Structure 1
Amino acid sequence: MIRAVVLDIGETLTRDDRYWASWADWLGVSRHTLSALVGAVVVAGRDNADAVRLLRPDIDIAAEYAAREAAGRGERLDETDLYEDVRPALTALRAAGARVVIAGNQSTRAGDLLRSLDLPADLIVTSAEWGTAKPAPAFFARVLEASGHPAAETLYVGDHPANDIHPARAAGLRTAHIRRGPWGHWWADDPTVRAAADWSIDSLAELADIVKE
């Protein structure tokens, strides 16, 4: 039985369109160029930040992030960034009796922005706030603490095989891989991902039935 559902953030709950567009604008390249480079690193199984490093190999991403914030061009997140199924799916999960936790590789700023949306979740937390990021085992240890239930009763939902599905499974969690965003679509039918995921889903709306099972 699944008693807690923990969800990734980027391309699971939120679209990354604004995120990558803002980086392209800041770096002075076309949005199409950066989008294409994101696709290239997805196919190669590389870290998404490598898309920016392909444009600026010597970039200090943390320093550049701070510079964007100081210039008033930092992170933004609002209702329009959410996928349409997010609110109804989270509401249905809580109605089914599941504890709902949102936890992903995001900044403290992103955590504040997400909490300001008043989503139907019991906890919203980011890697920056925990001081550990996926795919580190320490992140998934914190996931289990936040879940409040055993690993076998906790479902982690995400789009990224290397950051979500494989490390969550290694931690003993149940896993659901969502076919959403570039990582979710590209790796959806990969045999290793299929084998690691307890469920492969196309929408968050499917989660309530999984919990009810």
Structure 2
Amino acid sequence: MNSDDVWQQFGVTSWPAQRARLRAVVFGCLSLTVIAAGLWWSGAIIPHIRWELDDFFLHADVDENGVLSAFVHIDVENEGAASFTLTDISAEVPGLRFLPADTAKEERPAVTVAPGDLERLTRRVVITDCAAVPHEPQPIRFTYETWTGTRSAEVTWDSWRLNGPEEDLPIAWQRALAGNVCNQAVKDWS
């Protein structure tokens, strides 16, 4: 019988055995960290999305009930390595409201974006009160599905630029959108 056997009887293992276990635990923790970081970086856990609101085709529309609206085209680019499905877009912005997709008008209720791809989503935005739309940038809430399940997140789109005589001034996306639509509606009624 040697001293290691005596120490083992009391529940104390030798230093080489403890070092081996410690190395296994450290290696396991580092491996899990590297795997989690890789999944995070790839967009497999939370998608990496680049948004762009295309205002080139923005046109004011007043329906037979007097409701002022516009169709907005949203470019959604997947910059990650895992695909995701965008299922809903909404916003709690005073003075404007996103409507759900209208399949009769060929609006897609959900769009799946593969890695590296760009998809276009069209939604109707109703302007309920031109003056009530805030001047500070407001977030958009989007719901998406990945292999990990359904989640939602908020994003604030970049400000639009207002061309001035000497410089370009930033203006909140929702304020620029409402101003553009409201001005078009007034001009069309004149």
What TM-score, normalized to structure 1?
0.27
More strand by share: 2
Q: Which has the higher contact order (CA 8 A, sep 6+)?
A: 1
More helix by share: 1
Greater gyration radius: 2
What TM-score, normalized to structure 2?
0.29
